Amino acid sequence: MLKFNKKSSAWQILFILTSLFVYLCLYSNVFDGLRAIRGNFVYTVVKRDLSSLLHHQFRSVSYYLQLLEQMGTQPEVLALNGTTAVAFNVPTTTPLATTPIILENVDNTLLDMLKVRILSNSTLPLLTLFSSWNANPKKNLVHNLTLINWRSLHPYVIPVVFSNESSIINECNQASVITLPLSAVAAGGIPVLKYMYRDVMNLFNTSFYAFSNGDILFTKELIHTLAQMIKSTTEDMRKPILIVGRRTNVEHITIDEGSDWGNITRISKSKGKLFTHVAEDYFITTQTYPWNDVPEVVIGRRAYDNWLVYNSRKMKYNVIDATNTILAVHQTTQAGNFEGHGHSNRDYNHNLLTKMYKNIKYYAGGLACVERFTQYKSKLFQIKTRKVHPTCGV
Ligand X SMILES: *[C@@H]1O[C@H](CO)[C@@H](O)[C@H](O)[C@H]1NC(C)=O
Q: List contacts with ligand X (CB under 6 A).
A: 39-41, 56, 61, 64, 80-82, 121, 124, 140-141, 144, 164, 171, 174, 181-182, 185, 205, 256, 259-260, 263
Strand partners, 186: 190
Compute the least distance from the CB of residue 147 to ligand X, in Å.
8
Closest CA to 133 of 125, 145, 123, 116: 145
Compute the least distance from the CB of residue 143 to ligand X, in Å.
7
CA dihedral 108, 110, 111, 112 (to 10 degrees): 80
Q: Are strands 282-286 and 380-385 parallel, antiparallel or unpaired?
A: unpaired
Compute the least distance from the CB of residue 366 to ligand X, in Å.
18
CB nearer to ligand X: pick between 256 and 293: 256
Compute the least distance from the CB of residue 84 to ligand X, in Å.
9
**Residues 184 and 192 sit within 8 Å (Cβ to Cβ):** yes
**Residues 190 and 344 sit within 8 Å (Cβ to Cβ):** no
CB nearer to ligand X: pick between 265 and 337: 265
CB nearer to ligand X: pick between 253 and 309: 253
CA dihedral 314, 317, 321, 327 (to 10 degrees): -130
3-class DSSP state for residue 273?
Answer: strand
What is the Cα gyration radius of the chain?
24
CB nearer to ligand X: pick between 144 and 391: 144
DSSP letter for each residue of 45-97: HHHHHHHHHHHHTT---HHHHTT-PPP---GGGGGS-GGGTTGGG--BSSPPP
CB nearer to ligand X: pick between 160 and 319: 160
Closest CA to 302 of 88, 134, 73, 87: 73
Compute the least distance from the CB of residue 322 to ligand X, in Å.
24
CB nearer to ligand X: pick between 125 and 245: 125
CB nearer to ligand X: pick between 259 and 276: 259
Compute the least distance from the CB of residue 6 to ligand X, in Å.
50
Q: For residues 322 and 243, what is the distance between their CA atoms, to the nearest angstrom?
A: 6
Instruction: Tell me how far apart the terminal alpha carbons of the chain are, to the nearest angstrom.
Output: 98
Compute the least distance from the CB of residue 40 to ligand X, in Å.
4
CB nearer to ligand X: pick between 78 and 185: 185
Residue showing the smallest CB distance to ligand X in the complex = 39
Q: For residues 183 and 175, what is the distance between their CA atoms, to the nearest angstrom?
A: 23
Compute the least distance from the CB of residue 92 to ligand X, in Å.
26
